[in-house]
A = this chain, B = another copy of it.
Amino acid sequence: MIVILLYLQTNILGMINLLSNLKIAVPEKIFIKDPESSDLGKRIVEHSILLIDEIGFDSFTFKKLGAKIGSNESSIYRYFDSKHKLLLYLTSWYWAWIEYQMVFATHNVPDYNDQLFKAIEVVTREIKEDVAFTHINEVVLNRIIINEYSKSYLTKEVDSENKEGYFVVYKRVVKRLSEIINNVDSDYEFPSSLASTIVEGSLHQHFLKAHFSSITDCGKDVTPTEFFLNLTQKVLKTTTNGTK
């Protein structure tokens, strides 16, 4: 793993500036050559996000991507073993980015309830604005996570890939959330299941909103964030002042 470089500045201008100094850490075995290390690598990542969003992961090929970035299929294979590995890269990047926001949003927040509120917001919200400081379009990447994330682990190779550490970032996000849940109500018996339900369930609600609107209440007026905040508040005994 590349170590996250946390430049903790005294006068932070905001997350956007901070993020431009921060390298999102992705498990190293996922790629052959770090796409962040070259111009071509960055263009592969940038345009793979756009192309997967456009035609879907199933129709996506390295040949088509090559055509789009004016490069060759064989060059892309020098960065990633397969399109599956590229998806693992993109999803790991996304969850590392979410994790960063979660840590940032809950850091120095004294009240555990407030921490939980903010953490749920971070993992359940729809990304609507591109940070625009990197080559990665987070709005589009968020859509890809909603539409394709499950495919990265619903394979016959999950267990071996899990051993290789390809899903650590995702699991860490869920674990952080479950710890916050545990801080709010240590008597609650299922903090991990609740956390994983919120993270994955929120992706699902976003999907339903867009495609199966008849089986969700989320839509114009209600967001998945509201639904899961309401749910969590009811499930946990939130002590009125759960100060750190």
Contacts and interface: CB of A to CB of B under 8 A. Distances in A.
How many monomers of this protein are in the complex? 2
A194 B217 CA distance: 9
Dominant secondary structure at the A interface: helix
A190 interface: yes
Interface in A9-67: 55-56, 58-59
Interface in A214-233: 214-218, 222, 224, 227, 230-231
Nearest to A178: B215
Contacts of A114: none
Contact of A196 (B190, B191, B208): B208
A204 B200 contact: yes
A211 B158 contact: yes
Interface of A: 55-56, 58-59, 147-148, 150-151, 153-156, 158-159, 162, 167, 171, 174-175, 178, 189-197, 200-201, 204-205, 207-208, 211-212, 214-218, 222, 224, 227, 230-231, 234-235
